[in-house]
Structure 1
Amino acid sequence: MAWNWAGTDIGKAHHHTVVLNNDGEVLLSRKVINDEPGLDPL
């Protein structure tokens, strides 16, 4: 069974989200501004 793992580093000005697959490959690595329009794509 394949799994994806996601983690988000929360900050006052911005957040950073990373998604990895079972093999540790980065599927997504994105820095977003800490506001609603910045978070919507996640």
Structure 2
Amino acid sequence: MKKITERPIVKILIKILMFALCFYAGIKFVDFIFPLVGFKQ
């Protein structure tokens, strides 16, 4: 496993995957929070 994770391409893919997950989670979080804030106002 060490040889696979040491490759630059794999590191880039992992970074892209993490960014995509954070971006997706951010969108879901905003979609969940904004209606709550809207109803309170």
**Fold match by TM threshold 0.5:** no
Query: How high is the TM-score relative to the length of structure 1?
Result: 0.16
The structure with the largest strand share of the pair is 1
- Does 1 or 2 have the higher relative contact order (CA < 8 Å, sep 6+)? 1
| Structure with max Cα Rg | 2
- After TM superposition, the score normalised by the length of structure 2 is 0.16
